[in-house]
Amino acid sequence: GAVVSQHPSRVICKSGTSVKIECRSLDFQATTMFWYRQFPKQSLMLMATSNEGSKATYEQGVEKDKFLINHASLTLSTLTVTSAHPEDSSFYICSAGRPGLANNEQFFGPGTRLTVL
Amino acid sequence: ILNVEQSPQSLHVQEGDSTNFTCSFPSSNFYALHWYRWETAKSPEALFVMTLNGDEKKKGRISATLNTKEGYSYLYIKGSQPEDSATYLCALGSGGGADGLTFGKGTHLIIQP
């Protein structure tokens, strides 16, 4: 149990286009989902926390108008990178918290490699 | 801002040997420490969640210890196998169950046959 999928696994796009990444909890309902990104040789960094039915909470330095997060159901959260630029090229990964879990336990998707040309 | 340090950054170990690596963190405001195992192109796999000083957990050949007073955790792998090759991530939870994690950069472990 506790499987999280993420699509697409890899995307290459032109500068100025928007890219949507989906994160799904396959066998449980996730009231909270998290979005992280990882630049080369760096650690996974939390971008935002997404709660079903409410607005996402963004970490300092993350532009909410550039990284649109929608958590419309208990099994799906989407991250849209709007007007992507080469500096947005990174590895994006989501995680989901299952109701009843304590201690920040989270289950991760496999990630999405975004390359902006 | 939490600062999580992992060492070494990478490690080559001969098959059959045992190994260990370290996660260091500020000892104040500790809530929970997580270890994940991450293979390329797969999802990070949760290994352990540890909250109590002196805690020791074991899963097969892998075990972990926690010292919250001095701010470190060790991960041990006994009798390394090629399938143990992965990046091992340490992460701190800073609050209740709905907070994100603060990660270290990971230790990249390569087991040589």
pLDDT at B98 exceeding the cut of 80: no
Closest Cα of chain A to B80: distance in Å? 25
Are B98 and A97 inside 8 Å of each other by CB? yes
Are A43 and B95 inside 8 Å of each other by CB? no
Nearest CA in chain A to B5: A43
CB pairs under 8 A between A and B: 71
pLDDT at site A78: 96
Are A101 and B103 inside 8 Å of each other by CB? no
pLDDT at site B29: 72
In this prediction, what percent of chain A has a pLDDT beyond 90? Answer: 77
pLDDT tier for residue A34 given thresholds of 50, 70 and 90: very high
The whole-number average pLDDT for the span A80-91 is 97
Structure tokens at A94: 């989501």
- The phi, psi pair for B82, rounded to 5°, reads -55, -35
Helix (H/G/I), strand (E/B), else coil: B85: coil
Tens digits of residue pLDDT in A43-71: 999 999 998 888 899 999 999 999 999 98
CA-closest candidate to residue B21, choices B69, B62, B51: B62
pLDDT at site A54: 84
Nearest CA in chain B to A58: B100
* Neighbour tally for A63: CB within 10 Å: 10
